[in-house]
Structure 1
Amino acid sequence: MASSTRDGADHADEIRLWREDDWWIAKDVDTGVTTQGPSRVAALENLDEAIALYNDEIGKEPTDEELREMGIDPTDNTTGDQEPPDVIK
């Protein structure tokens, strides 16, 4: 497993990268966000995108119209007071 640390002005980023069978796994240690890809580059690119999503730097909530176009009733698109499944946590 490879590990890299970069000290920034106000924080240190640590990414771990390792191979499992034919896939490369990339993990941001601080957030726990983990991705994979068929190559090192792909795994790291996927991690960059996942971190940007995690930090609300890209992406957006779908509009009610977009949900309806996908066949989803917006009133059913809530978790309410339920905890998300373990696989989402």
Structure 2
Amino acid sequence: MERKVTAKELRNKVSSVLREVRRGKEVFISYRGKEIAVLKPVEEKVSKEFNAVGFGMWKERQDLKDVEEWLAEKRKPRYSG
């Protein structure tokens, strides 16, 4: 089942609209007579697994061995002193 609301109605009754979405209904939002968005429930069981892509990718960089020194070098053009 679906429901249609205007942007103004959504703004004024957001809690009741979200309550319907939690119950599994799709809510179509219109602005100036045209449908522009759909609110619908999220898929169940979102995976929270750790994604290790990029983890440790800079571990071999020699210029980052001393982070404070690296930052001081990068900031040198902006701050003299």
- Give the TM interval when normalised to the shorter protein: under 0.3
Name the TM-score, length of structure 1 as normaliser: 0.25
Q: Which has the higher strand share?
A: 1
Larger of the two Rg values belongs to structure: 2
TM-score under structure 2 length normalisation: 0.26
Bigger relative contact order, structure 1 or 2, given CA contacts below 8 A and separation 6+? 2
